[in-house]
Amino acid sequence: MTYLILRYSAEGRTQNPLIEGNPIARWILHRWGIRGMVFFKFIMVAVVAVIAEAVGQTRPHVGRNLLRFGTLVAGGVVIYSLLLLKRNL
């Protein structure tokens, strides 16, 4: 979704210019491009998964809930991005 939003915006296909809202992700995008952004997003998912796995070793219920919460947050970001793109096309 980030790629589509940024690409459509750069091509002038959106009503308003759209940018990456996360300052760390924006810095990574400007420094390393879309490949850096993909790497950053995969690392963020991996960090949450590793933390949930580590917690889940001693407290399985808490580890499961961490993964559920992370999934909801990631899904929420995708839905928000879709709505943002739809409103600006």
Residues 6 or more apart in contact with residue 2 via CB below 8 angstroms: 20, 25, 37, 41, 81
CB atoms within 10 A of CB 18: 19
Cα gap 43→9, rounded to integer Å:
25
pLDDT in tens, 5-53: 999 999 999 999 999 999 999 999 999 999 999 999 999 999 999 999 9
**Cα–Cα distance, 74 to 81 (Å, whole number):** 11
Task: Give the tens place of pLDDT for each residue, 57-75.
Answer: 999 999 999 999 999 999 9
Q: Closest Cα partner for 24 from 4, 8, 47?
A: 47
